[in-house]
Amino acid sequence: MHVVVTEDPEGPGGTLGHENGTVTHVPDLAEAIGSWPESDHREVRWVWGDTRRVYPGVLGRGVRVGRCHDVALTEGLLLGAEGRYGEPRSAEAAYARLHGFAVPEDREAVVEGGQGTLFEAEPREAGFGVGEAELVAAVYQDQLGRIGRLKEPGRFRLLVAAESAGALIAAEMGFFGMPWRESVHDALLTELLGGRPAHGMRPSKLQALADEVAAAFGQAVNPDSPQQIIKAFKSAGLTVPSTRSWVLKEVDHPGVKPLLAYKELARLYSFHGWVWADQWVKEDRFRAEYVVGGVVSGRWATSGGGALQIPKLMRRAVVADEGWTLVVADAAQLEPRVLAAMAGDGGLARAAGEIDLYAALAKAFGGQRDAAKIAMLSAMYGGTSGDAPKLLAVMRQRFPQAYAFVEDAARAGEEGQLVRSWLGRTSPPPSARWRELVSGPEGTRASRDRGRFTRNFVVQATAAEWATTLMAILRHHLPDPAKLVFFQHDEVMVHCPLDQTTTVRSAIATAADEATRLLFGDTPVRFPMEAIAVTCYADAK
DNA sequence: CGCCAGTGCGCC
DNA sequence: AAAGGGCGCACTGGCG
């Protein structure tokens, strides 16, 4: 069964819309959801316009839900599938389209940017002469109908369920937070940088390196300015095309070493330094803002805090609570396995039945595991340099179906067509700019670029679907109080009491298996998900 | 002053 | 060694 949920613009109240069409106003929404008759609590699908607007408040009152249908996320997926990519996807917009009213822009598109301002800027639209509960209910019914008319409604329903579950998980991860020891983080920064500087100053070790750089060049140079660095090298008689670290590494000049050291530390300082901690870490928890489906491929993005780019070095600060542990699991070689399963390539699927897929493929590539890996990555990314052409020729011969699968996706992209993931996420259409370019002198290049994008899209998007499905299942298998606290494309982290370690590890294995069956049915492809329990994230690999 | 593109680099 | 896909974010420096 489903229940439509709306929250009052002010206060803790809201409405519950029942399947028979009646709408009840409740003074305390979280309480009403939490006290829903236990017998069917797990069976309820809570339908709401936007998880980010409704769920945090509910969580804040200590209530969690099992399943939901996020109307805005679903609308985005449906619009893409219907060739209307990019149109506003809020429940209000969907309702307006349904009835021929003027379609309001999405609020996040209007407000955009700043943390915490996402939904505060303007009061809720007055509506279209209909209560919000009726509005959401009408859009929900319409969406069910549209899903039913798609080519693969069953798969798309899985996609919608996974995306909606992802929204719940993202909200919960943001709410509960990832363990982050401020004291460890501070000690690490102090060791590397030399203590927190006064406002407007560089940390001492950073300043020392900057001074070394200036001394080496015999002139003042801002190490944060690529332009100034290039000029400084020029006046030393050296021409560098850029200041990328791998370029500078090859340059013979005394300024290079301190400069590279500076760049590395400066990044830590500005990205994950004290200012970052002030903003994002409270009470030994890092609370990130995830954006479900924020990447066109369906991967998650972040809107602040950089949760998906935590430097390996900083993982020292991620430490389980006393008596608790971190169970960290990542899917090994996820993308080639996804390709094997999707393409139905017998040979590749057999290799993907092994724990080390690349080793299993090595035979086909002259016994070279590295060659097999480059061949697979080139096939999935559209690589053309080095040995790629030669290795791709081997792949074409030995794994023709997998080869054809990515080639077809690339060709579709080059021709300006849309491609779809396994569950039905649709790639964005080519931009107007691309259409101009493609018929001009730079046409071949633009065409190839888009081909590489669509080639990768089908694999990356399906990998994202597998990972989100796994998480959605895992969430239901976790014993209380274990919690998902981190997710990064193909890696999950669960924070749990020590005595739940074994249960959590097997829950992860089960979830990986169930996700594989749900998506691909009876495939020989295996998706190994090795889980390791650690006290500190840095010890996970 | 804010805005924006370019650069560079962290993660998968 | 540094190519091929996807991101976010800090910083510089030019512009209005």
If asked whether residues A397 and A509 sit together in one domain, one would say no
As a whole number of angstroms, the distance between CA A104 and CA A49 comes to 14
d(CA A515, CA A524): 14
Split into its structural domains, chain A has a count of 4
The integer distance in angstroms from the CA atom of A206 to the C1' atom of C11 is: 15
Last residue of a domain, one of A435, A463, A491: A463
Q: Which amino acid is at A446?
A: A
Q: State the residue range of the domain holding A374.
A: 334-463
Indicate whether A361 and A472 sit together in one domain. Answer: no
Of A150, A173, A206, the residue at which a domain comes to its end is A150
Determine the protein residue whose CA lies at the shortest distance from the C1' of B12: A489
CA distance A314 to A291: 22
Nearest nt to the A266 alpha carbon by C1':
C10
Q: Which of A463, A495, A522 corresponds to the end of one domain?
A: A463
Is residue A176 assigned to a domain?
A: no
Q: Give the span between the Cα atoms of A249 and A240, in whole angstroms.
A: 11
Do residue A113 and residue A209 come from a single domain? no
Q: Which residue has the tokens 């301190």?
A: A258
Strand, coil or helix: A130 = coil
H/E segment holding residue A16: strand A14-17
Is the residue at A161 inside a domain? no
Q: What is the pLDDT along chain A (541 residues), one digit of tens a residue?
A: 999 999 998 889 999 999 998 999 999 999 999 998 866 677 899 999 999 999 999 999 999 999 999 999 999 999 999 999 889 999 999 999 999 998 988 876 443 333 333 444 344 555 688 889 999 999 999 999 999 999 999 999 999 999 999 999 999 999 999 999 999 999 999 999 998 988 778 899 999 999 999 999 999 899 999 889 998 998 999 988 889 898 898 889 999 999 999 998 998 898 899 989 998 999 999 998 888 988 889 999 888 788 888 888 899 999 999 999 999 999 999 999 999 999 999 999 999 999 999 999 999 998 889 899 999 999 998 888 888 889 999 999 999 999 999 999 999 999 999 999 999 999 999 888 888 888 887 788 889 889 999 999 999 999 999 999 999 999 999 999 999 999 999 999 999 999 999 999 999 999 999 999 999 999 999 999 989 999 999 998 7
**CATH code for the domain of A267:** 1.20.1060.10
Task: Please tell me whether residues A452 and A497 are part of one structural domain.
Answer: no
Calculate helix-pair angle for A71-81, A153-176, nearest 10 degrees.
140
A418 and A475 fall within a common domain: no
Residue with CA nearest to B8's C1' atom? A244
CATH of the domain at A515: 3.30.70.370
Task: Identify the residues numbered 206 to 235 in chain A whose C-beta atom is closer than 7 Å to any atom of strand C.
Answer: 222, 224-225, 227-228
The answer to whether the beta carbons of residues A531 and A328 sit under 8 Å apart is yes
Whole-Å CA distances, A39 to A42, A43, A46, A227, A421:
8, 8, 15, 66, 36
